[in-house]
Structures are given as C-alpha cells and as structure tokens.
Amino acid sequence: MPQQPIDQNTRIVVALIGVALVGFIAVTYPALIPALTVALATFMALAILLKL
C-alpha cells in the first residue's frame, strides 16, 4: 500500500501541536527548559539534514 503524501495543513497542525506541548511543559516544569532547548536544536538539525 503506497504512502499518502503529507499535505501542508497536516504539517502546520503537527507543528502547532508540538509547539503547544513544548510550551506547556516549559511553563509547568521550568527546570526542563535547557533540555527542551537541546532537544529542539537536535530535532531541527535532523530535520534539515534529512530534509523533512
């Protein structure tokens, strides 16, 4: 079964859900902000490297 292409709206919705989740975690647990920053930087590097 071939994979369906991901449309632009799906990418935007997934990004907004991720931003909301990271924002909620940052407000709830301020001590995790450095870890969230490292995780975001790693994710962005992988996304650029893999051209997702």
The domain tally of the chain equals: 1
In a domain, 1, yes or no: no
d(CA 29, CA 22): 10
Domain span at residue 26? Answer: 8-50
- 29: alpha, beta or left, given left = phi > 0 and alpha = psi -120 to 50? beta
Bigger pLDDT: 45 vs 7: 45
In a domain, 2, yes or no: no
> In sequence order, which residues have a C-beta less than 8 Å from that of residue 18 and are 6 or more positions away?
none
1 has pLDDT over 60: no
Bigger pLDDT: 9 vs 30: 30
The string of pLDDT tens digits covering residues 12-46 is 888 888 888 888 888 999 998 898 888 888 888 88
